[in-house]
Chains A and B, each alone.
Chain A
Amino acid sequence: MADLKLDQIRKSYGAVDVLHGIDLDVKDGEFVVFVGPSGCGKSTLLRIIAGLEDITGGDLMIGGDVVNTKSPRDRGIAMVFQSYALYPHMTVYKNMAFGLKLANHDKSAIDQRVREAARILQLDQLLDRRPSELSGGQRQRVAIGRAIVRQPKVFLFDEPLSNLDAALRVQTRIEIAKLHQELESTIVYVTHDQVEAMTLADKIVVMNAGNVEQVGSPMQLYHHPQTRFVAGFIGSPAMNFTTVHIDAVEQGRVTVTVPGGAKAVLPFDVPAGDVGKDVELGVRPEHLSPGEQGDLSISGEVDVVEKLGDSTYLYLKLANGDRFTVRAPGHSRIKIGETVSAAAEAGASHLFDANGKAYDKLQCPAEYSADE
């Protein structure tokens, strides 16, 4: 167990900069998830922590020691790969014991650790099998077991669930969450799936184009995204965005015109100089109620209806051509072609300036806040 500290980590391949100075603190026992679209540098960052990639600049500290030039084996890490990467010619038992055996651990100690890991991961019955005789989920559990037996300071997971089918993914996700509770270990986990990030993480690091966009708890990112990118990335279905016009700014309030001409008064701290500008308004589908009037009303023609049973998603086409997704109750009878008006509370909205940066929200109601 140890903490992890990244100080201005940079990585370049030749002239191409992949990571532009990443700062991050991971506390002992924390579950941190790196999330972002493909090519954002999250896997590279994980491989740097593992020692599989050289660091171009900055310092990496595990448990207080700078490990920049240490090889993976000397860093006290264990990594679980997306492709499992099991040794195909060894049994499950040997796969887990291999690293320990080479480290000259006592035979009975190895046996004890392997059996303990097998018990936690329910692999007891499979210890004599070869990887080729296992299902995908079982293989992934063996890969996790191989990491557990090393008793590392930091666990690294590189998209471990991507190769599993949907049902197994949910199940394994829950197992990883339970494992973290049981082992209380420091975990760094990379995924492109924001649902995994939301459900597993103590702390999410949203990355974009080699930069950290925002770091925070899942609820902080959900309720208080600092950039338009984070707002659009966290949450499913994604947040709706449309351009609005700032009409007036007064003490902690801003009046905007939404597409279709309606006015709304929203609780944002907007500098007076921004009056007259076009900015971006964001509202989550689940915060919009169709057929009602509220602080913020927006209307459009329904062009797609998706019925999921417990809820129905309506896809509205707004007056300016933007699309809005609205979550309606499952029993909703709204049909394609109808014009629907949807409303949200002012506190549920988000406002972003031309650079994609969020304006500070004032007077945030409790149900739209991460504070407990």
Chain B
Amino acid sequence: MMTKNIRREDMSRAVIVHAILLTYTLVALYPIFLVIINAFKSRKGIFSAPMSLPNAETFSLEGFTKVLARSNFELFFFNSFTVTVVTIVIVLLLASMAAWALSEYKFPGNTWLALYLAVGIMVPIRLGSVSILNLIVELGLINTLTALILVYVAQGLPLAIFILTEFMHQIPKDLKEAARCDGVGEFKIFFAVILPLIRPAVATVAVFTMIPIWNDLWFPLILAPGDGKQTITLGIQQFIGQYVTDWNAVLASLSLAIIPILILYLIFSRQLIRGLTSGAVK
């Protein structure tokens, strides 16, 4: 009797939890769903029945053809991809090395340095837009992808260092000491022992870093708005006019823009699942 009640309670709780999660998932996915279905409709179809699926009458690829023919879509794409990937690589490398230093070595000012880096998480980088713009102009990097990469690295580092430091603390001390006794140098310990073990954390950080960069409109707009240097979010803006917006093209390019980030996410998320430290120490 007792156990039955408890089991029923567990069941109803599970149902409620799943209902909430499912609702949230729908809320989150529905706009994306709308974007994608409308990308495959004619202009008339979008305005007359925005919620319905494309049918024989409204189906049209005119948005895609317009995007691919009329704009430098491939170039925007390439710019976004370059900026994102280069930033991720730099952030992961610098952040993991910094995290290793902060978590493993005792040196004067260690705590203060960690705190200083953590403060960066709380200060929005956009507050410094004016000085960043001045700085980039003085460096002569305006209208370059390098400018974007530098700013995004600065934006991504604090959180990345914070997360990775926490993970590095969890690596058993014995493992590092065993490696040291084994004649392994410090650099090799870092690259051959520590990095493979925190792969799940590195993947998490990669996802965290990548999405805001891919979606950012602000810094491309002020730092690299010139021809040939626009990222995809900025490139799409040419279809959004003050008086007329070419919804076909906007929706088609948004749909296309989802693909690369989705691929990157799938690559990293495979690493998230694995817990790698099992079997290292009892």
| B8 → A minimal CB distance (Å) | 38
- Per the bound structure, the CA–CA distance linking A29 and B281 in Å amounts to 29
Q: Are A88 and B280 in contact (CB under 8 A)?
A: yes
A146 within 8 A of B: yes
- Per the bound structure, the CA–CA distance linking A244 and B257 in Å amounts to 91
| B36 → A minimal CB distance (Å) | 39
Q: Are B276 and A83 in contact (CB under 8 A)?
A: no
- Interface residue ranges of A75-124 to B (CB < 8 Å): 77-79, 81-89, 98-99, 102-103
A132 within 8 A of B: yes
Q: Are B279 and A85 in contact (CB under 8 A)?
A: no
Q: Are A103 and B183 in contact (CB under 8 A)?
A: yes
Task: Knowing A87-B193, A89-B196, A99-B183 are in contact, say whether A132-B177 is a contact too (CB < 8 A).
Answer: no
| A63 → B minimal CB distance (Å) | 17
With a CB–CB cut-off of 8 A, which chain A residues contact B174?
81-85
Q: Are B279 and A133 in contact (CB under 8 A)?
A: yes
**What residue of chain B has the Cβ atom nearest to residue A98's Cβ?**
B182
| B170 → A minimal CB distance (Å) | 13
| Total B residues in contact with A, Cβ cutoff 8 Å | 24
A236 within 8 A of B: no
B197 within 8 A of A: yes
A343 within 8 A of B: no
Categorize the interface residue count of chain A. 20 to 34
**What residue of chain A has the Cβ atom nearest to residue B188's Cβ?**
A102
- Per the bound structure, the CA–CA distance linking A136 and B197 in Å amounts to 20
Q: B281 is contacted by which of A79, A84, A103 (Cβ under 8 Å)?
A: A84
Q: B177 is contacted by which of A85, A130, A134, A136 (Cβ under 8 Å)?
A: A85
- Per the bound structure, the CA–CA distance linking A71 and B177 in Å amounts to 11
Kindly name the residue among B178, B277, B282 whose own CB sees the greatest number of chain A CB atoms within 10 A.
B178
| A98 → B minimal CB distance (Å) | 7
- Per the bound structure, the CA–CA distance linking A214 and B277 in Å amounts to 41
A52 within 8 A of B: yes
With a CB–CB cut-off of 8 A, which chain B residues contact A134?
279
A347 within 8 A of B: no
B181 within 8 A of A: yes
The 3 closest A-B pairs by CB, nearest first: A132-B279, A83-B281, A85-B178
B184 within 8 A of A: yes
Interface membership of chain B positions 154-190, coded 1 if the CB is closer than 8 angstroms to chain A and 0 otherwise: 0000000000000000001011011111111100100
Q: B182 is contacted by which of A139, A150, A163 (Cβ under 8 Å)?
A: A150
- Per the bound structure, the CA–CA distance linking A102 and B180 in Å amounts to 12
| B40 → A minimal CB distance (Å) | 45
Q: B276 is contacted by which of A52, A88, A99, A133 (Cβ under 8 Å)?
A: A88
Q: Are B282 and A163 in contact (CB under 8 A)?
A: yes
B55 within 8 A of A: no
With a CB–CB cut-off of 8 A, which chain B residues contact A130?
279
- Per the bound structure, the CA–CA distance linking A323 and B169 in Å amounts to 48
**What residue of chain A has the Cβ atom nearest to residue B180's Cβ?**
A72
Q: Are A88 and B282 in contact (CB under 8 A)?
A: no
- Per the bound structure, the CA–CA distance linking A88 and B196 in Å amounts to 9
| A72 → B minimal CB distance (Å) | 5
**What residue of chain A has the Cβ atom nearest to residue B174's Cβ?**
A85
| B233 → A minimal CB distance (Å) | 38
Q: Are A83 and B185 in contact (CB under 8 A)?
A: no
B278 within 8 A of A: yes
- Per the bound structure, the CA–CA distance linking A348 and B184 in Å amounts to 52
Q: Are A73 and B180 in contact (CB under 8 A)?
A: yes
Q: Are A85 and B276 in contact (CB under 8 A)?
A: no
With a CB–CB cut-off of 8 A, which chain A residues contact B182?
73, 78, 98-99, 146, 150
**What residue of chain A has the Cβ atom nearest to residue B282's Cβ?**
A163
- Per the bound structure, the CA–CA distance linking A150 and B282 in Å amounts to 23
**What residue of chain B has the Cβ atom nearest to residue A81's Cβ?**
B174
7 contacts between A and B (CB under 8 A): A52-B180, A73-B185, A78-B181, A84-B281, A88-B280, A89-B197, A102-B183
Kindly name the residue among B180, B182, B188 whose own CB sees the greatest number of chain A CB atoms within 10 A.
B182
Q: Are A150 and B177 in contact (CB under 8 A)?
A: no
Q: A88 is contacted by which of B183, B185, B192, B279 (Cβ under 8 Å)?
A: B279
**What residue of chain A has the Cβ atom nearest to residue B280's Cβ?**
A88
Q: B178 is contacted by which of A71, A79, A102, A136 (Cβ under 8 Å)?
A: A79
Task: Knowing A79-B178, A132-B279, A163-B282 are in contact, say whether A85-B183 is a contact too (CB < 8 A).
Answer: no
With a CB–CB cut-off of 8 A, which chain A residues contact B278?
88, 132
- Per the bound structure, the CA–CA distance linking A99 and B172 in Å amounts to 19
Kindly name the residue among A82, A87, A102 whose own CB sees the greatest number of chain B CB atoms within 10 A.
A87
**What residue of chain B has the Cβ atom nearest to residue A47's Cβ?**
B177
With a CB–CB cut-off of 8 A, which chain B residues contact A103?
183
- Per the bound structure, the CA–CA distance linking A95 and B182 in Å amounts to 10
- Per the bound structure, the CA–CA distance linking A132 and B277 in Å amounts to 9
A55 within 8 A of B: no
With a CB–CB cut-off of 8 A, which chain B residues contact A86?
178, 279-281
Task: Knowing A89-B197, A150-B182 are in contact, say whether A52-B281 is a contact too (CB < 8 A).
Answer: no
Q: Are B180 and A71 in contact (CB under 8 A)?
A: yes
- Per the bound structure, the CA–CA distance linking A86 and B174 in Å amounts to 9
| B93 → A minimal CB distance (Å) | 19
With a CB–CB cut-off of 8 A, which chain B residues contact A150?
182-183
- Per the bound structure, the CA–CA distance linking A82 and B282 in Å amounts to 9
Q: Are B282 and A84 in contact (CB under 8 A)?
A: yes
- Per the bound structure, the CA–CA distance linking A71 and B192 in Å amounts to 19
A225 within 8 A of B: no
A267 within 8 A of B: no
A197 within 8 A of B: no
Q: A71-B180, A85-B174, A86-B279 are in contact. List 13 more A-B contacts (CB 8 A).
A: A52-B180, A83-B174, A85-B178, A85-B280, A85-B281, A86-B280, A88-B278, A89-B196, A102-B183, A102-B184, A102-B188, A130-B279, A133-B279
A50 within 8 A of B: yes
| A357 → B minimal CB distance (Å) | 38
Q: Are A87 and B280 in contact (CB under 8 A)?
A: yes
